[in-house]
Amino acid sequence: MINTTPQKTADMVFANTTTEELITDIFSGDYDFPSSGKTALCLFGSYGTGKTTYASIFCKELELAKSRHAIVANPMLVTCDKTENITQMLSRCIASTNFLSFNHSGYHYFIFDEVDNLTASAQRALKSFLNQNDIVCVLTTNYLDKVDKGLLNRCVALNFNSGSPHQVKLRVQHLLQQDGLAPLSDELIDDIIQKSEGTWRNIIPAAFRLAKKQKSPKP
């Protein structure tokens, strides 16, 4: 089975055209980011819609857009799972910014995964960290209503709920074709989408399972 994990923005199925257009505008420079006190994206949506996967893709493609260099130092992934207190967490992040960035743009990249797990005071501390001008952060959350409003004010919020059934079908059929499998009917994919509640972790295995039970297309 081919690697079905998105590797670039073009592989993503976005929740709507507003999200897709805003990302395109950031890369083109039509939307100046980071600037005006906004140093982070906040990707919000249900489970399994590609938020964490895209966070890394975004950092790499933004660096390419900013510096024209395809190589980018991997962003620091910070898992907000309450196993590390906010002081320790931010101390690691601040320490990394004290060194010269390995990126040609001069930015330091951070991914804060599932920020809704942070306490109110921890989110306020993170809000202060976002005031730096040499960082780019991507925050992910399944529960936008649990994110501090001041923290959100420093972010560009992007809807990362499941895409339209039509766009999901196109992506699924493309992946099946890449793997040499026969396409599925729209009815079958609609049933998969409904049962999976839009989660790619469920959609892809189910689609490949059904496709493998069908005859492979003639070469």
Query: If phi over 0 gives left and psi between -120 and 50 gives alpha, with beta otherwise, what is residue 61?
Result: alpha
48-70 pLDDT, tens digit per residue, is 999 999 999 999 999 999 988 76
**Number of C-beta neighbours around residue 8 at 10 A:** 10
Query: If phi over 0 gives left and psi between -120 and 50 gives alpha, with beta otherwise, what is residue 58?
Result: alpha
State the average pLDDT for the chain.
92
Mean of pLDDT values over 147-157? 97
91-137 pLDDT, tens digit per residue, is 999 999 998 888 889 999 999 999 999 999 999 999 999 999 899 99
Greater confidence (217 vs 214) lies with: 214
Distance CA 40, CA 136 (A): 6
Sheet with 108-113, side-by-side order of all strands: 76-79, 108-113, 135-141, 40-44, 155-159
Q: Characterize the bridge pairing of strands 155-159 and 76-79.
A: unpaired
3-state class (DSSP) for residue 110: strand
Q: What percent of the chain has pLDDT above 70? A: 96
Residue 215 has pLDDT above 80, yes or no: no
Structural domain boundaries in the chain: 14-159, 165-212
Distance CA 19, CA 136 (A): 18
Write down the CATH superfamily of domain 14-159.
P-loop containing nucleotide triphosphate hydrolases (3.40.50.300)
Residue 217 has pLDDT above 60, yes or no: no
